[in-house]
Amino acid sequence: MHLDPFELHRPTSVEATVRLAHELHGRFDYLAGGTDLLPNYKMHLNLRPHLIALHDVAELSGHSPTRIGAMERLAAIDEDAAYRTAYPVVGDAVGEIATPLVRASGTVGGNLLVETRCFFFNQSYFWRESLGFCLKADGDKCHVVPQKEVCYATFSGDLAPALMVLGAEVEIAGPTGRRRLPLGDLYDAKGDGIRRLAIAPGELLVAVHLPADAGSWRGRYRKLRVRPSFDFPELGVAVAARFDGARVQGLRIAIGGVEPRPRQFDELTRPLEGGALSDDRVRELAARLERSVRPVHNTFLAPDYRRRMVGVYVRRALADVREVRAG
Ligand SMILES: Cc1cc2nc3c(=O)[nH]c(=O)nc-3n(C[C@H](O)[C@H](O)[C@H](O)COP(=O)(O)OP(=O)(O)OC[C@H]3O[C@@H](n4cnc5c(N)ncnc54)[C@H](O)[C@@H]3O)c2cc1C
Ligand code: SF4
């Protein structure tokens, strides 16, 4: 497998980057660590003739307790013991992304915007050609759910659910300026595995911002994967809670790895706020969450198994946060 030629651009400011993106009219991809994009390019998946490298845009680097630049390396968060202690849910998630080598190059922005995955997509050109191309690259049908309209490729990033339950917002830059939106709204609720983002093509992710109260949420992330050494999540469950004595004051759960976008389930967790987080309530919540997700057969583990594991992992993650409170 080889990389086809492309033109590489290296802007040095956010404004110059989005201006260039606008001029290239969608005929480009942003290049961060390249740990997702370049393997996809080698497999001839949706190649573009231009790459805009973000490495020289100083504003995209660095992290503080309330801001992470989009180009901050995953390793920088993973190796920051104080950050991991302040936000255990982020520490859990970042420490389980890929391998140390990938984390040394991979970035926070690239992780939040990582391409959705599917058996029939993450394959070489020849493999895909011999079976018949699909909607997400070069073709016009889906092999997972036979039809010609919707792609069910799975969002398989670990960080998004963990940052969502802390109330993170993303800062986005486009040709008309900057704006902020809740991280969960970055992912298009009406989209699919192809039209997966709610931002316009060419808009740039500048940073992730955490609210001032993020440190008061006790959170954990639990990940199901085949090989613990480096696999993508087959399911990722992030839980964050705030307690007032025995009562749970706030409760958030976000789930990734089972659908085309990570989803937070406030409609199921809010009714529990103000009461005790009893074993019965936890069991009922876990069962409801299990019924709410829609995995399909496009990753290694069977969809029914992944769905059942939602309940198991929610119960385990909630037990973890209850333990932290007790300690
Ligand atoms: C062996 C292996 C194992 C992996 N395992 C995991 C895993 O367990 N969990 C996991 O979450 N990921 C995993 N990954 C995927 C990937 O390495 C990570 O998600 C990584 O964080 C991607 O970051 P990057 O900087 O390399 O992104 P890139 O590959 O550079 O970019 C990814 C996508 O984001 C876009 N993009 C990047 N930055 C911006 C920005 N600032 N604004 C707008 N668009 C942007 C790019 O155009 C591209 O579409 C794995 C990868 C490999 C090779
Ligand atoms: S879900 Fe269907 S359209 Fe989407 S990548 Fe898989 S086979 Fe292709």
Residue-wise pLDDT tens digits, 238-250 = 999 999 988 999 9
Residue 180 lies in a domain: no
Residue 198 lies in a domain: no
CA of 35 to the centre of ligand 1 (A): 6
Overall domain count for the chain: 1
Cross-sheet strand order for the sheet of 169-174: 63-64, 67-69, 204-209, 169-174, 177-182
Residue 250 lies in a domain: yes
Angle at which helices 303-326 and 279-292 cross, to 10°: 150
Mutate to test the pocket of ligand 1, among 35, 55, 107, 299 (most ligand atoms within 8 A of CB): 35
Q: What is the pLDDT of residues 25-77, one digit of tens each?
A: 999 999 999 999 999 999 999 999 999 999 999 999 999 999 999 999 999 99
Question: What is the rounded average pLDDT of the residues 140-160?
Answer: 97
Residue 154: nearest ligand to its CA?
2
Residue 297 lies in a domain: yes
Residue 326 has pLDDT above 80, yes or no: no
The alpha-helical segments, DSSP class H, found in the chain are 14-23, 37-42, 74-78, 81-86, 88-95, 100-105, 108-112, 125-131, 159-164, 266-269, 279-292, 303-326
Question: What is the rounded average pLDDT of the residues 242-266?
Answer: 96
- Which pLDDT value is given to residue 325? 60
- Which pLDDT value is given to residue 246? 86
Give the closest residue (by CA) to ligand 1 atom 40.
Answer: 205
Residue 273 sits in a domain whose CATH number is 3.30.390.50
Residue 69: nearest ligand to its CA?
1
What integer best gives the mean pLDDT of the chain? 96
- Which pLDDT value is given to residue 299? 95
* Band (125; pLDDT cuts 50, 70, 90): very high
Residue 118 lies in a domain: no
Q: Is the CB of 68 under 6 A from ligand 1?
A: no
Q: Is the CB of 158 under 6 A from ligand 1?
A: yes
Give the closest residue (by CA) to ligand 2 atom 2.
Answer: 142
Beta strand 177-182 with 67-69 is: unpaired
Whole-model pTM: value is: 0.97
Atom of ligand 2 nearest to the CA of 134: 8
The phi and psi torsions of 174 (rounded to 5 degrees) equal -140, -175
Residue 241 lies in a domain: yes
- Which pLDDT value is given to residue 261? 98
CA of 234 to the centre of ligand 1 (A): 16
- C-alpha span between 296 and 98 (Å, rounded): 23
CA of 152 to the centre of ligand 2 (A): 6
Q: For a pLDDT cut of 90, what percent of the chain falls above it?
A: 95
Q: What is the pLDDT of residues 270-321, one digit of tens each?
A: 999 999 999 999 999 999 999 999 999 999 999 999 999 999 999 999 999 9
- C-alpha span between 202 and 11 (Å, rounded): 14
- C-alpha span between 71 and 278 (Å, rounded): 41
Residue 188 lies in a domain: no
Residue 147: nearest ligand to its CA?
2
Give the closest residue (by CA) to ligand 2 atom 4.
Answer: 151
Q: If you search the block for the tokens 């809670």, which residue do you land on?
A: 241
Residue 131: nearest ligand to its CA?
2
Q: What is the pLDDT of residues 195-206, one digit of tens each?
A: 999 999 899 999
* Band (228; pLDDT cuts 50, 70, 90): confident
CA of 31 to the centre of ligand 1 (A): 9
Which residues form the domain of 292?
214-326
Question: What is the rounded average pLDDT of the residues 129-139?
Answer: 96
Q: Is the CB of 153 under 6 A from ligand 1?
A: no
Residue 270 lies in a domain: yes
Q: What are the pocket residues of ligand 2 if the criterion is a CB atom closer than 6 Å to any ligand atom? A: 118, 120-121, 134-136, 142-144, 151-153, 193, 298
Question: What is the rounded average pLDDT of the residues 258-280?
Answer: 96
The residue among 101, 211, 243, 95 whose CA lies nearest residue 159 is 95
- C-alpha span between 269 and 284 (Å, rounded): 11
